[in-house]
Amino acid sequence: MGSVGKVDSGIVSVNAYGIYENITFPLIFKVFKPKGTLKPGDKYQTKIELASSIIAELVEFGFHIELVLADSLYGEAS
């Protein structure tokens, strides 16, 4: 978890939220796993790859997406 200024344990997730009549609610999330924490058989995916798969899933479910936002930490994929 890079934002604490040191190596620390925790769970990092990539999230999607919906907005309906000014109410924000969670839709789906995926857990980001750094390369060093993968178990045999796990496939490494960057945060951007996880976000792309979330968007694809939501479109497949029939959601109409008007806007996608990401913060600067999406560039930190290790």
Over the chain (78 residues), the average pLDDT of each successive run of 10 is 64 90 94 90 92 95 89 60
Predicted local distance difference test score (pLDDT) of residue 14: 92
Question: Which residues share a beta bridge with 8?
Answer: none
Location of structure tokens 């497949």: 60
CA distances from 47 to 57, 69, 76 (A): 15, 13, 8
Percent of residues in the chain assigned helix, strand, coil, to nearest 5: 30, 25, 45
49 φ/ψ sector (left φ>0, alpha ψ -120 to 50, else beta): alpha
Predicted local distance difference test score (pLDDT) of residue 16: 94
